[in-house]
A and B are shown apart, each in its own frame.
Chain A
Amino acid sequence: MIPFFKKKKQLPSGKDRKEIKEELFAKCEKCGALYYKKQLERELWVCPECGYHFRIPARKYVEYILDEGDFEERIGQNIYANDPLKFPGYAKKLEGYYKKLELNDAALCGTGHINGIKVVFFVTDFKFLGGSMGSVYGEIFLRGTRKAISENLPFISLTTSGGGARMHEGIFSLMQMAKTVVGVVELNEANIPFISVVAHPTMGGVMASFASLGDIILAEPGALLGFAGPRVIEQTIRQKLPEGFQTSEFLLEKGFVDDVVSRKELKEKLTFYLKHLGGENGRSKTD
């Protein structure tokens, strides 16, 4: 061991080169281009080269979509999973996420403004158990829709969910599909606009419940969207799936999403629909 080399590798922060590199740079999964994270931040984490949408945390969406510094009245931030099945490893997993992500579950909900229009915004975080829907998620959703009704505000959901319903809460998770749809039905009957934004990936029980019931459904480009996971389908039919199967563009073609919208244009697009369905200053119902 030659001390000289060792010393050179050690940078002032005590981190090695690989760590520093990961801290500063990010690589596009699609085209392989390397970027300064600061640069990608300015691009809302959309690859300038190929348009690939990096997966971003729930709080980033809050930052990008709501007006600056404007996310208040957090809904359901004090509710926590109860591990009703005493499912192997679940409690421990949750503890880890609480610490690492500073979230009480996979969903975040509150009121805020989009270009001055007040809304209830519900957004999920993929890093929290794949953005899966358990009891807390369902409860936050329903409290959110009810807040929207009681204050006559439009409701927006933005989802990323790998598996849909959260396996670790078994049948309780499955029931959240019906529970969230109760929220949608109530929105419908109160004539409150509900815009569902689906990002990569939104699958299973989330896609097969409220996310597919938006008055308007917008998808981020290139997102994986569908009911069954591609691997499950391939195992069932014993053949490879065609390129682009179950993507946002595929769903657009088949007629199941209204539009595919780049993250960079999402805020303006939402503003258009909020105005169109709800009136200039939010809602202006004439009845």
Chain B
Amino acid sequence: MRALDFERPIVEIEEQIKALEKEAQDNKVVKQALMRLKERAEELKQHIYSNLTRWQTVQIARHPDRPHAVFYIHHVFDDFNEIHGDRNFRDDPSIITGFAFLNGRKVAIIAEEKGQDTKDKIYRNFGMPHPEGYRKAMRLMDLADRFNIPLISLVDTPGAYPGIGAEERGQSQAIAESIRKMLKIKIPFVSVIIGEGGSGGALAIAVADRVLAMEYAIYSVISPEGCASILWKDAKKANEAAEALKLTAKDLKEFGIIDDIIPEPLGGAHRDPVMAMNNFKEYVLKHLEEVEKLEPDKRLILRRKKYASMGSFIEKEG
């Protein structure tokens, strides 16, 4: 397992445990030492992971071993069938779309995928979609809406891609149209921020009846690095910027931007992916069932109302 700087002490102690376990077979003394070490490891994990700074949370959200969308799709859903392309320009591998079953029920899936190894990351463009990715997502929204299939989106992107082709093919227009579409479709729609919710590129698939976030996920208008370089002309001050932006799942829940937090294993989904997937499934089903109870028209009215009332301002007399 690859470790972040602040995780080093945990990894070191875990390595010691592994080494001792080999010797421990019949040796009582070693066994006792092992027990103490395990207790110590637990304490250390509790201590480190319960006191994360926002910047450390950002690093977990971007952890190299963190489960990505493809992992969720294959471990939570059954019989996934992918559909490709925007029927106009090309297929954008940064966004995966398709149909599957969740606990026996039909669902449609839109997911941003950052890629696993280097080759896959390049193929996925590090999860930074082009306009055709959002246009493919819109195709799926339409299909899901017409055939009454509940929609689930998985958000994990540093942001929509800033490139020549992306601008030429209307990145702004694609994102704007996608937001509009999500405010028109009537099917139940649950969106989950599973890792990084990077600005407009994330919102473009996350205007939903319920928006959930994994415990160590983040969601922000700008990356901490980008914010730091604007504010202090120094991307290295991302630590302070992350604090200022208040971008953790806990922050978002307090602000009323997201509806629920999906608990992760201590230290992040990658430390116990099975548990993370089970929690994800449980929470998504719960929220899906709740919004499914609503009449389609009512559901859409409530969705619009939610976004119409977002913002924080003061109204003065006069």
Contacts and interface: CB of A to CB of B under 8 A. Distances in A.
Given A82-B312, A228-B167, A171 B221 contact: yes
A92 to B, nearest CB: 13
A147 interface: no
A175 B164 CA distance: 26
Nearest to A188: B180
Contacts of B33: none
A175 B172 contact: no
Nearest to B128: A236
Contacts of A171: 219-221, 245-247, 251-252, 255, 257
Among B177, B219, B221, B245, residue most surrounded by chain A Cβ atoms (within 10 Å): B221
B302 to A, nearest CB: 12
Contacts of B284: none
Interface string A148-168: 000000000000000011110
B247 A227 contact: no
Given A85-B245, A233-B163, A227 B172 contact: yes
Interface string A47-80: 0000000000000000000000000000000111
Main secondary structure of the interface of A (DSSP, over half): helix
Contact of B308 (A135, A136, A179): A179
Among A169, A170, A173, A205, max chain B CB count under 10 A is at A170
A213 B204 CA distance: 14
B171 A175 contact: no
A241 interface: yes
From B255, B313, B318, residue with most partner A Cβ within 10 Å: B313
A228 B166 contact: yes
Contact of B310 (A170, A175, A207, A255): A175
Contacts of B312: 82, 84, 135, 169, 172
A115 interface: no
Interface residues of A, number: 60
B203 interface: yes
Contacts of B177: 212-213
A148 to B, nearest CB: 15
Interface residues of B, number: 53
B285 interface: no
A139 B162 contact: no
A114 interface: no
A135 B311 contact: yes
B311 A172 contact: yes
B26 interface: no
B111 interface: no
Interface string A192-233: 000000000000110111111100000000000111110011
A84 to B, nearest CB: 4
Nearest to B232: A88
A111 interface: no
A181 B200 contact: no
B61 to A, nearest CB: 14
A124 interface: no
A37 B312 CA distance: 39
A263 B58 CA distance: 45
A34 interface: no
A228 B220 contact: no
Contacts of A236: 161-163
